Amino acid sequence: MSLQNTFQPIIAMDNDLPMAQKRRIIYIRPFLLFYLNSLIAEIIFLAVSVFIMTGTRDLFYKVMWTLVFCPLGMGGAMGGLTNGFIVDHYYGKKAAHFTGILSLLILSACNYLCYNLDRHFGWFGANEHPMWFHWRYPMIWVVGYCNGLLMFTDRGQERLARVGL
């Protein structure tokens, strides 16, 4: 007994192509927005760390951690979870609130992990300035909510389209 072929082409005709391209943008936006927001936040955190807290000690590791690994990891995780749980399921302010809550859960866990790692490595000043890590939790929700408004409201999508996202 053989299994039947269950393959079904997503783009069956040429007139399906514009719709597929539009759907592609909807699925890529969460990755791009969360990556860019994470990168901007990490640049600020790196600048504060270098200029105010710990100086240029272990600068290579700080740069790799803040400008490569964190934005990719946080952008990828939040983009994937947003696509899995919110895109095509919710729209409007409900989706924005859900995005804010999801951001708070995931990115706060990431922030807490970073805090505990830094207490061990000492790259960003967690031992001397623990509140530098913990004041971020409300900001994480605000950024997630704003990303949700951009992705899941008509006005937000117009703004993203204007800037080419």
Closest CA to 28 of 98, 91, 83, 92: 83
Highest mean pLDDT among 2-6, 37-41, 124-128: 37-41
pLDDT score at 3: 58
pLDDT score at 2: 54
Closest CA to 141 of 110, 111, 92, 102: 102
Judge whether 119 and 126 are in contact, CB under 8 Å. Answer: yes
pLDDT tens digits along 58-110: 899 999 999 999 999 999 999 999 999 999 999 999 999 999 999 999 999 99
| pTM, to two decimals | 0.85
Res 116 pLDDT > 80: yes
The secondary structure of 8-53 as a DSSP string is --S--SGGGHHHHHHHHHHHHHHHHHHHHHHHHHHHHHHHHIIIII
Length of the chain: 165
